[in-house]
Amino acid sequence: MKDLKQLLERMEYQCIQGSLKREISNVIYDSRKAAPNTLFVCIKGTVTDGHSYAQDVVKAGAVALVVLEPVDVPEEVTVIRVKDTRYALAMLSAAYFDYPAETLKVIGITGTKGKTTTTYMIKSILEGAGHRPGLIGTIETVIGEETIPSANTTPESYLIQKYFRKMLDKGLDCCVMEVSSQGILMHRTAGILFEIGIFTNIEPDHIGPNEHASFEEYMECKSRLFSQCRIGILNVDDKHYRDMLLHRTCTVETFGFLADADLRADNMKFVSKPGYLGVAYHVSGLMDFDVEIDVPGRFSVYNSLAAIAVCRHFGADVEGMKRALKAAKTKGRIEMVQVSDEFTLMIDYAHNAMSLKSLLASLREYKPGRLVCLFGCGGNRAKARRYEMGEVSGRMADLTIITSDNPRLEDPQAIIDDIKTGIHKTNGRYVEIIDRKEAIRYAIANGRPKDVIVLAGKGHEDYQEIKGVKYPMDERDLIAQVLQELKRGE
């Protein structure tokens, strides 16, 4: 049990009803979790409004409510008014779990691309240096041996603080986490003083209904990270680098290819072998050593530079960094799968035109025999994405294999026809195979020497959603099945 007045100690509030002398069993924001002696925070969402459940949670035993608007509850129930209930939830959650971020060293990463891969690179290096890092990100939350699948890139503030507390209780000493613009906008990271904040890059994304009103707002949200960290480490090559310093209160370090970067990549070389793509470069500036990474593309240099810049502050040695970067892998992010000694096959999460264009442009730099792109598009989503992805693949790939992704409630063939509308704006060659396993079989069976084949869109996902039902489907399993069947001559 927690004392209500202590939970409120770092907040501005007005107690408009009832007493602050309350013992609180839990802080909740989901009315279905109401129980005796709980404190319910009324969150106004895009679909539901927590204020409308005020009477329900009181009947279930809630003794205090945090509100924006008046609620009709018995006079003995404590009602606390605040300016922003999402911000209040973050502060109450931190207090309820005894401010774990003040002990745990937290590293926050923001940017349009590269967040997920960079978190895993940092985690790998820190483990090699003897630290015990946790991880919170798009794919999963990792707390020691426990993994929890993610619903959001940055979880709700209560969950973040709960995870931080579990990390400390399990003996972890730091956490690396992805910080999305939506997470910042919705105050999910409010009250956290990050040890280090990282900016990877920024491009127009997440702009539209229920997201950001404009690119300027999107940038401004991301820039707030640098008002709540001790050290900011930023990509100086990004044209919006200075916009990220709008609210900064931290010490600033930079990384990139530019000569004035504090940590710089020199003499970059693309490494290409049968079934393998990577990149090598020399680290200059604050450190001085050569490094090779088993992840292709120029953006891999940026991700690894950011990881090196962070881990330098945690005492990681050069040899440990090199080993960790060589071993670091991120499920579904340019994940190479060995299927042949003659061509390269990989899985990637690229699921919109911007990410697909960036991926294919990076792979083009390796001068493949053919660049083959297999992808589909999700159902019940904007059709514009299908047209755009079809056009991008038609222009940049030598062969496009159009297949099914998560059709959801739509007809898979109708989605494929929309993708073809985009590809018909180009002269790109394509085939269409609805069944994803059969599409993968076609790609592997028809692979040529020096081909680079990318299976785009699913990445780390291990399911396919059809008619409202999620069926198990992991591309790694499909590849293994196809290889076995081809070996048997099926």
Coil, strand or helix at 239 = coil
Q: Dump pLDDT digits (tens) for 351-393.
A: 989 899 999 999 999 999 999 999 999 999 889 999 999 999 9
Residue 158 in this model has a pLDDT that exceeds 80: yes
Q: How far is CA 459 from CA 116, 416, 476, in A?
A: 12, 19, 10
- Give the span between the Cα atoms of 356 and 362, in whole angstroms: 10
Give yes or no for a contact between 386 and 410, defined as CB atoms under 8 angstroms apart. no
* Average pLDDT value for residue range 98-122: 95
Coil, strand or helix at 187 = coil
List residues bridging with 108 in a β-sheet.
177, 197
Q: Dump pLDDT digits (tens) for 270-326.
A: 999 878 899 999 999 999 999 999 999 999 999 999 999 999 999 999 999 999 998
Catalogue the E-assigned strands of 286-378: 289-293, 335-337, 344-348, 371-375
Residue 212 in this model has a pLDDT that exceeds 80: no
Give yes or no for a contact between 367 and 399, defined as CB atoms under 8 angstroms apart. no
- Dihedral sign (CA 265, 268, 271, 277): positive
Residue 328 in this model has a pLDDT that exceeds 90: no
Q: Any idea what the Cα angle at residue 281 is, between residues 112 and 126, rounded to 5°?
A: 65
Q: What is the mean pLDDT of the chain?
A: 95
* Average pLDDT value for residue range 447-464: 95
Give the neighbor-by-neighbor strand order of the sheet with 140-143.
Answer: 146-149, 140-143, 133-136, 174-178, 105-110, 194-199, 229-235, 251-256, 263-273, 276-285, 289-293
Q: Which two tokens stand for residue 416?
A: 């494929």
Give the burial string for 244-275 (b: 16+ CB within 10 Å, else e): beeebebebbbbbbeeebbbbbeeeeeebeee
* Average pLDDT value for residue range 55-81: 97
What is the percentage of the chain residues whose pLDDT exceeds 70?
98
Q: What is the pLDDT of residue 474?
A: 96
Confidence category of residue 204, pLDDT binned at 50, 70, 90: low
Q: What is the pLDDT of residue 88?
A: 98
* 192: number of Cβ within 10 Å: 25
* Average pLDDT value for residue range 233-240: 96
Q: Which two tokens stand for residue 216?
A: 């300027």
Per DSSP, 468 falls in state T
Q: What is the pLDDT of residue 489?
A: 84
